[in-house]
C-alpha cells in the first residue's frame, strides 16, 4: 500500500496494523463487537482524518456472519439533496466520539459540519473533500430536530447504493474516505461458543494521501 499512499498509525498505543478481533462482551456496535456496526467514516471528529482506511481479512466469521458494508459515493448522495438540507449539513452542529491519545489526525473537531465549507476540496469538487458522516451520531448525539432530519435525509440517500459482501481470508478492502463510507453487518449468533483464536479477525491500516495525489487536494 506504500505504493498508493503513506501508511501511518493514528493510535500510538497500537501497532501500524491494528487488530480488529471479536470481543463478545464489548459494545455490540463497536468494530470489535458482535452487532451491526453502522456505516461511518473513521476518525470523523479529527480535522485531518485518514484519507484511506483499509481492512485485511485474516479470518472471516466461521459462523457465516459479519458481511462488510460499503456505501455509495457520498458526493453523489449530497448532490441529490435540496439546497436547504445541504445548508444545514454545512453548519457546525454535529459531534460524535472521543478524542484521546491520537497522532497525525489534526485537532479535535467538535462540533463539526458534515459538509465542511472551509475545506477547499469540499463537495462541489468531485472526488475531493470529506463528507463527515457516521450513522451512530443519529442515535448517540444531541442534535436539533432540523439538523437530525437533514442527517437522516442524507443517510437515506447514502444507503441507496449500499452493497454488502463477505470478506474471505486474504481479501483486502481499501476505502477512499473522501468518497465512501463503510460498516459491518452483525456477526452470526453463538460467538461465545467459538474459541477466540478462531473468531473473525481483520487487520486495519490507515493511509495518508501524498501531497501530489489529486484525491486529497
Domain containing residue 137: CATH number: 3.60.130.10
Contact 68, 187 (CB under 8 A): no
Average pLDDT of the chain, as a whole number: 91
Is 62 among the domain residues?
yes
Is 199 among the domain residues?
yes
Is 150 among the domain residues?
yes
Residue 124's pLDDT band, with cuts at 50, 70 and 90, is: very low
Count of the separate structural domains present in the chain: 1
C-beta atoms surrounding 159 within 10 Å: 15
Domain that holds residue 41: 6-216
Is 158 among the domain residues?
yes
Nearest CA-CA partner of 186 in 207, 197, 176, 200? 200
Is 129 among the domain residues?
yes
Contact 103, 9 (CB under 8 A): yes
Residue 125's pLDDT band, with cuts at 50, 70 and 90, is: very low
Is 1 among the domain residues?
no
- Model pTM? 0.90
Is 192 among the domain residues?
yes
Amino acid at each position: 500500500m506504500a505504493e498508493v499512499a503513506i501508511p501511518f498509525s493514528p493510535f500510538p498505543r497500537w501497532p501500524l496494523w491494528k487488530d480488529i478481533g471479536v470481543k463478545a462482551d464489548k459494545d455490540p456496535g463497536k468494530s470489535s463487537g458482535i452487532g451491526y456496526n453502522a456505516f461511518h467514516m473513521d476518525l470523523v471528529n479529527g480535522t485531518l482524518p485518514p484519507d484511506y482506511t483499509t481492512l485485511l481479512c485474516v479470518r472471516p466469521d466461521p459462523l457465516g456472519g459479519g458481511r462488510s458494508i460499503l456505501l455509495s459515493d457520498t458526493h453523489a448522495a449530497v448532490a441529490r439533496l435540496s439546497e436547504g438540507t445541504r445548508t444545514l449539513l454545512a453548519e457546525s452542529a454535529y459531534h460524535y466520539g472521543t478524542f484521546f491519545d491520537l497522532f497525525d489526525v489534526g485537532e479535535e473537531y467538535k462540533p463539526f459540519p458534515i459538509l465542511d465549507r472551509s475545506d477547499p476540496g469540499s463537495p462541489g469538487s468531485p472526488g475531493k473533500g470529506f463528507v463527515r458522516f457516521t450513522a451512530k451520531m443519529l442515535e448517540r448525539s444531541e442534535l436539533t430536530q432540523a439538523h437530525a432530519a437533514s442527517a437522516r435525509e442524507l443517510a437515506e440517500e447514502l444507503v441507496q447504493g449500499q452493497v454488502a459482501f463477505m470478506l474471505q481470508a486474504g481479501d483486502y478492502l481499501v476505502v477512499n474516505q473522501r468518497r465512501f463510507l463503510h460498516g459491518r453487518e452483525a456477526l452470526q449468533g453463538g460467538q461465545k461458543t467459538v474459541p477466540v483464536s478462531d473468531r473473525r479477525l481483520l487487520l486495519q491500516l490507515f493511509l495518508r494521501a501524498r501531497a501530489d495525489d489529486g484525491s486529497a487536494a
